[in-house]
Amino acid sequence: MAIDDELFRAVFSAHPAAVCIVTAAGPESRPSGLTTSAVTSVSMEPPLLLVCVGTGSRTLAAIRHSGGFAVNFLAVHNERLSERFAGKSTQKFAGLDWRPSERAAGAPLLPAHHLSAVAECLVHQEIPAGDHTVFLGGIEGAALHGRAPMLYHERDYIHLPVPALSGTATTDWPSWSGHHIEGTP
């Protein structure tokens, strides 16, 4: 017998997770995005991550259309941005100075001052999974921005004390060779 929805939510809300905005370019390069904590690393060789996207999401259609997506890892104090992308608005990108990724099929890259990190991906595999679709993304580019990550725990945003992140900020979007990310040892 499967567990009920409330217990399912309680189990997963008991474990902190990074807050991310997954973005993709839809038809006519129209930007699409959603807030999620369902992102995790999968493999170093080849470099893969996974994201889970609800079957009714406009972002699902955009990822399928373009074949790429970006995972924008939010930095602390971006609750309003997270909530904007968690909603159904068609104006999620209004007023944001985003730019299209050259490595992730035009997926919107959010401004670096909102992020702790970003990963630019091409779809490696798509897997239907219940009321979601799991995308394995081949990581084509990545950057660290030297900011503490925003986390979600017990159905609320939390900020953990983080040691100084000296030397991790990058201002450009370097290619990632699979051996290291610029700004890390």
The C-alpha atoms of residue 50 and residue 39 are separated, in whole angstroms, by 6
Assigned token pair, 40: 């995790």
pLDDT tens-digit readout, 60-93? 999 999 999 999 999 999 999 999 999 999 999 9
The residue assigned the tokens 């959010």 is 110
Q: What is the pTM of this model?
A: 0.86
d(CA 131, CA 133): 7
Q: What residues have CB less than 8 Å from 91, skipping those under 6 apart?
A: none
d(C-alpha 21, C-alpha 106), whole Å = 15
- Give the CA-trace dihedral at 116, 87, 105, 64, to 10 degrees: 130
* Of residues 153 and 176, more confidently modeled: 153
Would you give the DSSP letter of residue 175?
B
- Coarse DSSP helix, strand, coil percentages of the chain, rounded to the nearest 5 percent: 15, 40, 45
| In this structure, CATH architecture of domain 16-158 | Roll (2.30)
H or E element, residue 151: strand 151-153
Q: Is the pLDDT of residue 95 over 50?
A: yes
pLDDT confidence of residue 159:
82
In the chain, domain spans: 16-158
The pLDDT of residue 163 is 63
* Structural element, H or E, at residue 69: strand 68-74
Name the token pair of 52: 């889970």
The pLDDT tens digits for 118-174 are 999 999 999 999 999 999 999 999 999 999 999 998 989 988 776 655 444 444 333
Which pLDDT does position 12 carry in this prediction? 86
- The partner residues of 100 in beta bridges, in order of sequence, read 108
User: To the nearest whole number, what is the mean pLDDT of the chain?
Assistant: 89
